[in-house]
A = this chain, B = another copy of it.
Amino acid sequence: MPSLSDLGEFGLIDRLAAALGPVASPGLVRGIGDDAAVYRIGTGPDGEARVHVVTTDALIEGVHFDRTFVPMDDLGEKAVAVNVSDVCAMNARPRYLTVALGVPDGFAVDDLDALYRGVRRACERYGCTVVGGDVTRSPALVLSIAAIGEAEEANVVYRNGAQVGDLLAVTGDLGASAVGLRLLRDPALRLEASAFPYPVRRHLAPTARLDAVEAFAHAGIRPSAMLDVSDGLASEIHHVCRNSGVGAVVQRSSVPIHPQTVAAAARLGVDPLGEAWWGGEDYELLLTLSAIDLSGLPPGLVTVVGRIVEADEGVTMEDDGQRSAFPGSGFDHFGEPHEELGIPSC
């Protein structure tokens, strides 16, 4: 019998999906295995088939956050954002949330108020509504959210749609959240955190890229594959390639990194690109699309970081024209933690 560490997070998910048996349900378009599940709800007024998507992500004290340095309003906002990010990764818009809250003995009511202020702020930002919840005692603070989103079925984007010849692109910039966490986790460096507000805010209160979903709709384009960058760019590129049956060439120098991330990484003595590869919790979108579709997007919305190639070329990195092996996958919640980070990202 293997241990959980032997299996690793993705081995474990495969095992659990197998334990649940074949999933067939009328109306179910996609079950376990993407950022969110997809099921039909009927047709809209225009005759288009409409779907809902549903996803769940829990934030657990001591694993995903440390109450000693995470403000409760940011935590509430983040718990919503990480779920909305999965909805966005399906090219859908969030509608309804449920919030199951586990509260430790002695937790202050004003901290709970702050937590909910953050939840509300995120709901206002993303246009979604908390419609139900559960509150219970718990040995550690737990926020478990499920998010339901809406889309036209024809617009939903999965992980497995990347085509050879597509460009590989990301929204925003990467590595900031991991660098922000390093600053916050070190009591000495925490004092300097105010010098690097960008990575710190990216860690504490990341933004789901609903604006990108809106921009795709406005431009009338649909990425061929998409997922959110929650476990590091390396991991997500491997996911999209494995799911789509393709390879990728990634331009090392193209990975977008914010100047403050670079500066903070220098202060920390770490490689900012490593933070982008393995750090996680960026909640940007990784997508593949054609060059024609790219040209229809607003300038600056995405950065091209590579291209999709045949599966037999594998996943490689290109640096000044030299190909090299691609770094391994990102954070595994059940594998050995990366020495540098210590506690797992979300």
Could you tell me which A residues sit within 8 Å of B by CB distance? Answer: 1-4, 7, 9, 12-13, 15-16, 19-21, 23-25, 27-28, 31-32, 36-37, 39, 41-44, 50, 52, 54-58, 60-64, 95-96, 98-103, 107-110, 112-113, 116-117, 119-120, 123, 128-140, 142, 144, 146, 148, 333-334, 344
Contacts and interface: CB of A to CB of B under 8 A. Distances in A.
Given A19-B117, A148-B148, A100 B58 contact: yes
A133 B16 contact: yes
A318 B313 CA distance: 80
B132 A20 contact: no
A312 to B, nearest CB: 32
B132 A36 contact: yes
Given A4-B103, A20-B116, A20-B123, 6 more contacts: A23-B131, A39-B96, A41-B42, A42-B50, A54-B148, A137-B344
Nearest to A104: B4
Contact of A21 (B37, B39, B109, B120): B120
Contacts of A112: 4, 12, 15-16
Contacts of A13: 133, 135
B37 A96 contact: yes
Closest 7 CB pairs of A and B: A42-B42, A37-B131, A144-B144, A146-B146, A19-B116, A56-B98, A41-B41
Contacts of A63: 102, 136-139
B7 A113 contact: no
A9 B135 contact: yes
21 contacts: A4-B103, A4-B109, A4-B112, A13-B135, A25-B131, A31-B131, A39-B95, A41-B42, A41-B52, A42-B43, A42-B50, A54-B131, A56-B98, A56-B100, A58-B100, A58-B134, A60-B102, A60-B142, A64-B136, A136-B333, A139-B139
Contact of A130 (B3, B23, B60, B130): B23
Contacts of A95: 25, 27, 39
A339 to B, nearest CB: 17
A2 B110 CA distance: 9
Contact of A131 (B21, B28, B139, B333): B28
Contacts of A131: 23, 25, 28, 31-32, 37, 39, 54
Contacts of A54: 96, 98, 131-132, 146, 148
Given A16-B116, A56-B99, A32 B148 contact: no
Contact of A12 (B16, B132, B135): B135
B130 A57 contact: no
A110 to B, nearest CB: 6
A36 B133 CA distance: 9
A65 to B, nearest CB: 12
Contacts of A37: 96, 98, 131-132
Contacts of A28: 96, 129, 131
B58 A146 contact: no
Nearest to A31: B131
A98 B146 contact: yes
Nearest to A9: B135
